[in-house]
Structure 1
């Protein structure tokens, strides 16, 4: 990472309990669901810390054998490229090494494409692979390079086949001014560059005195360099959702152009990523938030001591899993906002827009309501204290109560139904954010469902079943075709159930949107 100003702290969000009432009325009569549910999105795998650290050990060995560094134009950098390329080639990626010249020396970018997916909708994940000349560059930026390498290998191990095309990049000469990434983006033909619809950057994700910073995609912190291109907020939301699911608070950091997202946002490509801090000093407030000491986030920044001992295993593990979470999340739903002119219906639940809570609920507690949720946990996060966007969402019992199980769904099902939505003659698509959380006393009888109600019949278009395992609350995205209902007036019915033996079940839905075209 190049020298950069200290990342600013974001605003601390106070958790406010309480809900806004919803009129209680009987929902439309629901016929038995048509047994054609859209499959739930695949969950990201856990990224083994040991594997990430094994890559770091390789980078350290390469540096030790090549003058103590992996800098641009030095043999240690090319050896690092060859190591990463060999791993990816063996895993089934299509790789290419693209050379450029800077400062009289040849530099290299390594590009790796995972076969499949829509090549007109490319999600790219990148890190710089070079070090400064004074050291091995293990935190800066072996950590980012190793974490995205292991995420790529996890893609291969699971044979992940998302809707979007996945591309990974390792950049050269970042330490000399983003030279490799700039060369890559600026020399792509315009049509090829337009195919990259999102870029995730990971530069220093294992600092020994770490902070947990997420690039501020929508400028919601209100100061600094401003937001990223349209669509960057979706990336920010995805990364923040992961950290929220493990109970780690994050703070925003600016797109100040000092890492490899710079060339991408220059061309209007949505971007985001995480960062654990460089030479800046952790404040007293940040120590209270994250622990550590009021010293530099990385005391070995750009120094010879940036070796294997200069890494926080905890920060590296959390960030590697955050990377995988966002890759799986964003690659499956496209991750971009639809054009405003195509919106048929949208509700972010920041105002009451006529959803109806069903009086036919059989649940004795944890009924669906529009509310400002309070965070609850029982070993894992069971209810998130933040909505997917804004303050409010549809949630099963918004208040925390005396314990994690006080306001979860109990004793049956709970339903909430949208106002009438008149669909155009053209095909429409329903998208929404959701989570279903439960403990290992749940079963496959528990569920979260979304149905389309047309007249007196209802069709299940999305279903996520419970299981006898701990499942942490974490926002995910779903997309459902409504082409079968073109020209009809429909309602959306959201239902959650604790339908088996007594178990702890929580669910929420946010950012419901129907678009056409």
Structure 2
């Protein structure tokens, strides 16, 4: 976990902002309970394995020994880091993974990323799990980030032991030079060909999951605390939180602030999520009452220090988080990414014609940029992103998919455009609608411009998204919206999306994708 900085670093020019949590030794929270099996998905019961704490701590002991033999650290450019890479690679090679070491140069020293692919699964729908393996120069980095690296390693080994063959392809990564500014993970994501990068449909990041005075934090995928991740991140957050709900451990949000290796992934619109037990910030009295431990002391008093050794670990926190990682991998990979406890009853990624109708009522007034199902081309105006490429796959429901000669060529103009889905038969128990949406405009927009999504049933309709324009530049961003549709269970419904450019020549773009209903 890098310290707080506000500079732009790395080839992908990530803007790095302030962070939330921080660390210190303390009384342990309540004893760990054995996790139950995840709920059944797609007709098959998927049970994530219990991750043996002793195995995870065995990996930490190896990392500690490596640091002790190599100047007390495992930092970028030092022999201790290369030995750490070799140790993890050896474990994975023996287990049957296809591994590769990616080398790079930074600050005059050679760094390494380790990538491990589990054979099988849909490579066009890859779920990746990662952690940085390097320490700072000051210490061995056993919590930061031996803990995340060891937990991910043991989950990967559990995949092999269980001979798990999920629908999605599984890939694991261990990053170098994170402590110097996300260098390794940035290099990996930036140098992937665009076609290969687009195959990564989710990234799980685990950086510091055994802090001695732990908090329990999940990255804020749904934006409930202010800044969510790319579309699909909310689902990852829900899966991680669902595990902790089964063991009655409350979870708080932590921000996607660019401080760890999810940063390069979310910059490319890849859904991300992860867990964190705190670094140098202080645990509050309310948090100590909720989680145990010491109030008004750091989550990790040895953060980036020589005392970040194998004794700087809270066993219950490491155990819980290791099991949560396994739960997330099994749940998200087992059925292509549905929410735990929720069977998918309808899904439309707009890749094929599923019966959408444009201008179903014959009342649309737009003269250009009407909704269409197509592969949207990115458009910008003076640095403001407007139309975005699809968040998953190639197609989306968008206002004028082609870019044209300038940003205003195929944007929505002249009034309203409407698109309506085909009929969707919701079974008993149908509960949650989720979808990705984008609404962007320039400062020539106003409150008359809007994007609305409704669910229409035989006895009325409900508006589940209502975004209006304003006299300000609003950059495009795929976001996830969820809504309770249990009132429509057992009925046939349609989804109706409507966008409007009712101002005088406003530059407006809108889109919808990745529609799913679960029960």
The 1:41–1:135 alpha-carbon spacing in structure 2 relative to 1, beyond 3 Å, is same
TM-score by length of 1: 0.63
CA deviations on 1:422-478 (whole Å, 9 max, x unpaired) are 99xxxxxxxxxxxxxxxxxxxxxxxxxxxxxxxxxxxxxxxxxxxxxxxxxxxxxxx
2: distance between equivalents of 1:46 and 1:110?
25
Q: Structure 2 CA distance, aligned partners of 1:242 and 1:394?
A: 23
What is the aligned counterpart of 1:62 among 62, 66, 85?
66
**How far did residue 349 of structure 1 move?**
5.7
Asked if residue 348 in structure 1 is aligned to residue 431 in structure 2, the reply is yes
Alignment match, 2:500: none
Q: How does 1:291-440 map to 2 (within 5 A)?
A: 291-293=292-294, 294-335=296-337, 338-339=348-349, 345=424, 348=431, 418-420=490-492
Residue equivalent to 2:463: none
- In structure 1, runs of 5+ residues without a counterpart are 10-36, 356-388, 396-415, 424-509
- Aligned mates of 1:419, 1:161 — CA distance in 2: 36
Contact 2:423 2:492 in 1 (8 A): no
Question: Which residue pairs with 1:275 in the alignment?
Answer: 276
Which residue is equivalent to 2:2? 2
Larger relative contact order (C-alpha < 8 A, sep ≥ 6)? 1
Q: How does 1:220-299 map to 2 (within 5 A)?
A: 220-221=224-225, 223=226, 226-293=227-294, 294-299=296-301
Aligned to 2:97: 93
Q: Give CA deviations for 1:68-92 in whole Å, capped at 9, x if unaligned.
A: 0000000000000000000000000
Q: Closer, same or farther in 2 for the Cα pair 1:338/1:262, shift >3 Å? A: farther
Cα distance in 1 for residues equivalent to 2:222 and 2:143: 28
Q: CA deviation at 1:319?
A: 0.3
Distance 1:42 1:208, change over 3 A: same
Aligned mates of 2:231, 2:241 — CA distance in 1: 17
Runs (5+) with no aligned partner, structure 2: 5-17, 23-40, 339-346, 351-396, 398-420, 434-453, 459-480, 496-515
Shift of 1:41: 3.6
Alignment check: 8 A CA contact 1:231 1:335 kept:
no
How many pairs are equivalent?
345
| Whole-Å separation in 1 of the counterparts to 2:110 and 2:199 | 27
Alignment match, 2:451: none
Alignment match, 1:170: 174
How far residue 38 of structure 1 moved from its aligned partner, in angstroms, is 5.9
TM-score by length of structure 2 reads: 0.62
Q: Does 1:205 align with 2:209?
A: yes
Computed over aligned residues only, the root mean square deviation of the Cα atoms, in angstroms, reads 2.9
Large movers: runs of 4+ above 6 Å: 350-355, 389-395
Alignment correspondent of 1:192: 196
1:512: which partner in 2? 518
- Structure-2 residue corresponding to 1:183: 187
